[in-house]
Amino acid sequence: MNASPNGPPNLLTTLRRIAALAAPYFRSEEKWKARGLLAAIVALNLGAVYMLVLNNQWYARFYDALQNKDQAVFWREIVYFCWIAAGFIVIAILKFYLTQLLQLRWRTWMTRSYLARWMANHTFYRLELARYAQADAGGHPPDNPDQRIQEDMQLFTDYTMTLSMGLLNAVVTLASFVGILWSLSGAMSFTLGGSSYTIAGSMVWLALAYCAAGTAVTHFIGRPLIGLNFQQQRYEADFRHHLMRVREYSEAIALDRGDKVEHRQLDLRFGAVLRNYLQLIRKQKNLVAFTASFAQASVIFAFIVQAPRFFSGAIQLGQLMQVNSAFGRVQDSLSWFVDNYDRIAVWRATADRLTSFEAAMRAHAGAANALERAPADAAAGLRADGLTIALPDGTPLLADASLRVAPGDNVLLQGPSGSGKSTLFRAFAGIWPFARGHVRMPADAMFIPQRPYVPDGTLRDAVAYPDPASDYDDAALRRALVDALLPQLAGRLDDSDAWSQKLSGGEQQRLAIARVLLKKPAWLFADEATSALDEKAESTLYQRLAATVRSGGGAMVSIAHRASVGAHHPQRWTLSPAPEGAAARYRVRTEAEAITASPADTDTAAAGAAA
């Protein structure tokens, strides 16, 4: 899905991509403010060019006054210059402020728009699944959406405004000064092959030839920068992402003594950053060497060409300086591409990354979900018909399964690792895109993953997640924590911390159970929800969960490997390997069987109830 950053640059394609990214904001609900700010910035740029024209005219009068030693004209022109300078300063300040304001508003709108689409319809989850599937297949999925939303959008809005206004300035300046330069430069005569030729507006043609040659050489030298900048953004994001993962899994890495391995992994990623950056430096060195030489040569180019006219007395010092100033403005305008090539390379790379991200989000947002999921009556319970589930790479796990859970049932789902137990739950929840069939799910249902998400912030927000904490009073929040065997946290509702780092795995699982006890859903789906707990705590909490769903007239379906969990689930589903030649790897065997707890389990349950 990514654009090919190393392919031949296509100016028209690049401009179309940039226009497609930029246009939505200027057609959005903020369009009049955006267009008004843009119009004001354009007017200020035109005003700045007008100031340059006045400044060019001033050059002739000022230097003629110096040559003629005319003190009165000298001081009059000094005052006139102060007015020009004051106007230029006011325009520069207003242009800077309004440009920054438009960039800020534009970035804000784009970021919120992309965030809304990224978070809608589980697109963030689908993109990650697709990324791993495409990576396994050797594809090039959109990487690091966090970097694209945070950094690329800032770069895109910044460079789009800076470069587009710079190009506007260059075009208007060229239009304003080319006539001045034409009238001042005079005709150039020469003899070739025995014939005499005269070229009017010689400095204009020389400026065109000078800048055309410079642009061609710049493009030849700087072309590799486009691909290198694209890769640099990717390598930087990969390095930053792995740093975040080390911080997130710091305890597990420390317990596994994995610091040396992670150090090597970080060093490998940083090495990729450095290698690519060194290539960037080498290419930029060549580009800077040429552009610096090109700029320095342009300083004396007009003086050299016009020197014979000046020393012959055809023009005065003021006119010579005016010609040099006009040539400089025309040359600067025509050299805009030369001067901004490295920034254009970053701009194009950023636009390519955002375009591929946009295409990926659009593809997943518009993809039809083959799984038909509808709400079910509480009395009907869960019904799944013709349920077929595959892995992201297309490998079928289950085919044409039919499952039922009636109110009052407590079902234990078991099977070998990798058989698709958690994936079946994801299909029930409606988040697995590689499933088809029909699922009718009661509305009042909650899912507990094996590794629950615990947001940073106050503890009350973590317990109530994803609901607002204000929906529950403090007494209910404390009661849920105590019932989930977290009495030590009941008095810390207003404490703010990185709870995923501070709480153990078992405490995080109990916090997820506290959410269930707080919200009291009728239907519960628990995926290894107590795998980090001891059997006594597990038995106590399962009794309380079963009582919660029973009071709501619902049911509980659990995934667990421990036999002791079976004491709380009279029914069992088993995922077992399908016969050879079947349509999928596994099949679901359902059976209603009374699971009698062993004496040890009974003692554990009684002890848990007493606790």
Position 403 confidence tier, pLDDT thresholds 50, 70, 90: very high
Q: Is residue 2 part of a domain?
A: no
- Most confident range (mean pLDDT) of 273-287, 423-437, 536-550 is 536-550
Question: For every residue of 213-271, which 3-state class applies, written as one string?
Answer: HHHHHHHHHHCCHHHHHHHHHHHHHHHHHHHHHHHHCHHHHHHCCCHHHHHHHHHHHHH
Cα 403 to Cα 589: distance, rounded to the nearest angstrom = 10
The dihedrals phi and psi of 532, each to the nearest 5 degrees, come to -95, 5
Question: For every residue of 349-401, which 3-state class applies, written as one string?
Answer: HHHHHHHHHHHHHHHHHHCCCCEEEEEECCCCCEEEEEEEEECCCCCEEEEEE
SS3 category, 275: helix
Q: Is residue 6 part of a domain?
A: no
What are 87-140's pLDDT values in tens digits? 989 999 999 999 999 999 999 999 999 988 888 888 888 887 876 555 443 445
Say whether both 358 and 382 belong to one domain. Answer: no
């697995």: which residue's tokens?
A: 432
Cα 569 to Cα 559: distance, rounded to the nearest angstrom = 11
Say whether both 289 and 386 belong to one domain. Answer: no
Position 596 confidence tier, pLDDT thresholds 50, 70, 90: very low
pTM reported for the whole predicted model: 0.70
Q: Is residue 5 part of a domain?
A: no
Q: Is residue 248 part of a domain?
A: yes
Domain that holds residue 385: 372-610
Neighbours of 7 (CB within 10 A): 11
Please compute the mean of the pLDDT values over residues 200-212 and round it to a whole number. 77
Q: Sheet containing 396-405: give its strands across.
A: 371-376, 435-442, 382-390, 396-405
Left, alpha or beta for 49 (phi > 0: left; psi -120 to 50: alpha)? alpha
CATH number, domain containing residue 533: 3.40.50.300
For the cut 60, the answer to whether the pLDDT of residue 601 exceeds it is no
Say whether both 233 and 340 belong to one domain. Answer: yes
Say whether both 51 and 133 belong to one domain. Answer: yes
For the cut 60, the answer to whether the pLDDT of residue 341 exceeds it is yes
Q: What total of structural domains would you count in the chain?
A: 2
Q: Could you say which of 320, 339, 366 is where a domain stops?
A: 366
Say whether both 470 and 495 belong to one domain. Answer: yes
Q: Can you give the pLDDT at residue 197?
A: 63
Residues 494, 459 contacting (CB under 8 angstroms): yes
Q: Could you say which of 314, 334, 366 is where a domain stops?
A: 366
Q: Can you give the pLDDT at residue 135?
A: 45
What are 455-498's pLDDT values in tens digits? 889 999 999 999 999 999 999 999 999 999 999 999 999 999 88
Say whether both 31 and 99 belong to one domain. Answer: yes
Residues 232, 276 contacting (CB under 8 angstroms): yes
Long-range (24+ apart) CB contacts under 8 A made by 107-116 are 107/153, 107/154, 107/157, 109/25, 109/28, 109/30, 110/25, 110/153, 110/156, 110/157, 111/149, 111/150, 111/153, 113/24, 114/148, 114/149, 114/153, 114/357, 114/361, 115/149
CATH number, domain containing residue 239: 1.20.1560.10
Q: Could you say which of 366, 399, 431 is where a domain stops?
A: 366
SS3 category, 28: coil
Strand partners, 382: 405
Say whether both 293 and 430 belong to one domain. Answer: no
Say whether both 334 and 262 belong to one domain. Answer: yes
Q: Can you give the pLDDT at residue 602?
A: 36
Say whether both 521 and 569 belong to one domain. Answer: yes
Percent of the chain scoring above 70 in pLDDT:
88
Say whether both 288 and 388 belong to one domain. Answer: no
Say whether both 413 and 287 belong to one domain. Answer: no
């109990």: which residue's tokens?
A: 510
Residues 553, 407 contacting (CB under 8 angstroms): yes
Say whether both 26 and 136 belong to one domain. Answer: yes
| Whole-Å CA distances, 412 to 50, 451, 509, 556, 587 | 79, 19, 18, 8, 15
Q: Is residue 1 part of a domain?
A: no
Q: Is residue 293 part of a domain?
A: yes
Q: Is residue 306 part of a domain?
A: yes
Q: Is residue 460 part of a domain?
A: yes
